[in-house]
Amino acid sequence: MDHLVKIIDSVVWPIAAIWLGYIFRSEVRTLLGRMSQFKYKDVEAKFEKQLVQAEVEATSLKEKPQKTWEQATTRGVLTQYEQFKRIAQASPRAAILEAWLDVEVAVFAAAEKAGLEVKAQSHTHQLANHLISLELIPKETLSVFNSLRKLRNQATHLPDFTLSEEEADRYLELALKVANTFRHYAIEVPNKSSKKDAQKARASS
């Protein structure tokens, strides 16, 4: 009899726990969300602080190169910025990762234009540093680029609920400015001085 009671006891409690979990599933989900938010609170605060710092740094970037690409369209339907904004509505974290990829593409394009050796394993930050050291890209771009890189790395490890759509939008604005600075160099019509710069870049690479 005692053996039977133990069997029933071992079966009933798990079933009861599952049943209670199902009944109070919304409360449990809320509690877990609060626990996770508390866990990432310091990281989120750090992200916000560095985002503000990047915005301050970006005030030194020239506006002219950015205007060149304000109306740039993807597939003739949406601007790239609008596409990222739509992604941010569903997943702020994904929008930040996509925006950083756009920065990397622009850096690679500028590096190729300068005649630098670009390989699949090339590091974006090294190429960016090289372009800036050659004075092909404005030096004030570097601090914003590095800040965006750090923010992207943080976002990689953060769940979506710790990032807001508003924070993602602010990151997109900054990423677009930096990407367009590199992109502007990549597509500008070469003149005598830019040809000399490209030759100097090839010689140093």
Shared domain check, 177 and 85: yes
**Helix, coil or strand: residue 158:** coil
Q: Are the beta carbons of 33 and 161 closer than 8 angstroms?
A: yes
pLDDT-based confidence at 143, cuts 50/70/90?
Answer: very high
Residue type, 27: E
Alpha-carbon distance 43 to 28, whole Å? 24
Which residue did the predictor score with more confidence, 120 or 180?
180
* Same domain for 60 and 2: no
Q: Please check whether residues 33 and 49 belong to one and the same domain.
A: no
* Same domain? 111 vs 17: no
**Residues 155, 117 share a domain:** yes
Q: Is residue 30 scored above 60 in pLDDT?
A: no
Tokens for 23, please give them: 């009944």
Contact criterion met (CB below 8 Å) for 195 and 113:
no
- Per-residue pLDDT for 105 more than 80? yes
Q: Are residues 91 and 190 in the same domain?
A: yes
Mean of all residue pLDDT scores within the chain = 75
Give tens-digit pLDDT for 151-201: 999 988 888 778 899 999 999 999 999 999 999 999 886 654 555 555 555
Q: Which residue has the higher pLDDT, 120 or 60?
A: 60
* Rounded CA separation 66/180 (Å): 5
106 with 155, same domain: the answer is yes
What is the length of the chain?
205
Q: Would you say the pTM of this structure is higher than 0.75?
A: no
pLDDT, position 111: 93
Greater pLDDT, 35 or 27? 27
pLDDT in the model for residue 169: 93
> Span 17-22, mean pLDDT?
47
- Region 36-42 average pLDDT: 54
The number of distinct structural domains making up the chain is: 2
Q: Are residues 100 and 187 in the same domain?
A: yes
Which domain, by its residues, includes 18?
1-39
Verify that 14 and 114 share a domain, yes or no.
no
Is the domain of 23 the same as that of 111?
A: no
131-138 long-range contacts (CB < 8 A, ≥24 apart) are: 131/107, 131/182, 131/185, 131/201, 134/197, 134/200, 134/201, 134/204, 135/197, 136/110, 136/185, 136/197, 136/201, 137/110, 137/181, 137/182, 137/185, 138/61, 138/62, 138/181
Q: CB-based contacts of 92: which residues, under 8 Å, 6+ apart?
A: 160, 163, 164, 165, 167, 168
